[in-house]
Amino acid sequence: MQKIILPTYGAHIPEIPDGIHKPTWIIPPSLMSSHGLEFDISPLLVCDRLIIDDHAHEYIKHSDYPFLMGMRNTVRALVDEGFIETKNYASIARLHANDLAKATDRAMRDPLDWKEQLLVFMRWWDRMQPALRCGMKSIYDPDTTPVALGIYCYLIRAQGAVNPSEVVRLTKLLHSRKKRWSVKEKQELIAITRPYISYLHLNVALRTKLQCPVLDWDGMSAFYECWYQQTLRAVDRSAMRRQDRIEKAKELFSISLPNIRPKTPLQIVKLLKDRRIKDLRRIIYDAARTGKPLTRDWGEKALIAALQAHERIEGTRRIKAWIARGLAAIPFLSLPAALGDGLIDAIQAYRAKREYKWLYALLDAVR
């Protein structure tokens, strides 16, 4: 059985001060929508089960935040059906605390090595703000929600509060192109960057302990790439293939066929339990292997072709029944001979319908 680990952003790392929490922390990688954060089922189209932190599960399960309602219902259904299992990430973090701290120390010898990766993450986090603001509504705090993990933790530790002017100053510092940094500036850069590196090493430990790949938030990808280079590790080709497949699954739901993406827990579970899920995975795997873009035009053409094939089959069935009744009394006349080209069209339509079984599975799930 193939499994994928979903890490818990903003949890189980020593750089986060005790008692400090933001509503967007302790949440596995998710989708942003106008209704809030939704659980992303794309990984379940390339694996059999997802692993999430039991702390994150309890947080989502008991949260009364409206923007987490959709995720709460979906996670509950997927746990009940066995598509999600929970593990105690905190115990793994405690068990390997010393090794994780040493690995982070080694990685932070020159904080400038991580500066560009940090900026990539911050730009990604900035792009998330419009969707977060829309989904979180009154819970969204314009003074603290947009502040990324590193700056937020540093200011809470150093000053006990998040001062907007200090956020601006530190952001400008990180974006500066200066080549010579003062000792104080380097210390600030280390303090801001360290939570991400600590979080990265925790996820590496989870991967090693649970013997499963990790799928993180998109904004963390640059950190992982840099980590591979620094540790002289060969890029995991199977991980790259898996990531390509997940990206294609996201394309399918966000670009090609957004109107038939399963959204409710019932629809999601219905699709995942459908035997035709293997046909859907085949489409995704082939697109990832060939690099074929799953565009909106491709999705519309597939939908039209599938519906036309279905209509031809249903129409041929009605014609066959009508002709059969009319010709029943005529001896030596077979039904295939009477149908002629109609039967050939029916066979072709049937083959076309088999080709789009994956699409019928989606349509059946959402109707």
* SS (HEC) of 233-276: CCCCHHHHHHHHHHHHHHHHHHHHCHHHCCCCHHHHHHHHHCCC
Helix (H) or strand (E) holding 37: strand 36-39
Per-residue confidence at 325, pLDDT binned at 50, 70, 90? very low
Kindly report the pTM of this predicted structure: 0.83
Residue 19 is predicted with a pLDDT of 80
pLDDT tens, 69-94? 999 999 999 999 999 999 999 999 99
Whole-number average pLDDT of the chain: 86
Of 205-214, 240-249, 300-309, 331-340, the least confident: 331-340
Q: Are 145 and 129 in contact (CB under 8 A)?
A: yes
Per-residue confidence at 313, pLDDT binned at 50, 70, 90? low
Beta bridge partners of 38: 31
- Whether 66 has a pLDDT exceeding 50, the answer reads yes
Write the CA distances from 242 to 4, 67, 205, 228, integer angstroms. 10, 29, 20, 17
- Whether 330 has a pLDDT exceeding 50, the answer reads no
Can you tell me the distance from the alpha carbon of 124 to that of 223, in angstroms, rounded to the nearest whole number?
13
Residue 243 is predicted with a pLDDT of 83
- What is the DSSP pairing of strand 3-5 with strand 49-53? parallel
Of 23-37, 181-195, 206-220, 330-344, the least confident: 330-344
Residue 35 is predicted with a pLDDT of 80
For residue 13, the one-letter residue type is I
Q: What would the mean pLDDT of 141-145 be, rounded to a whole number? A: 93
Beta bridge partners of 36: 33
Can you tell me the distance from the alpha carbon of 199 to that of 8, in angstroms, rounded to the nearest whole number?
9
pLDDT tens, 176-234? 988 889 999 999 999 999 999 999 999 999 999 999 999 999 999 999 988 887 775 55
Per-residue confidence at 320, pLDDT binned at 50, 70, 90? very low
Per-residue confidence at 55, pLDDT binned at 50, 70, 90? very high
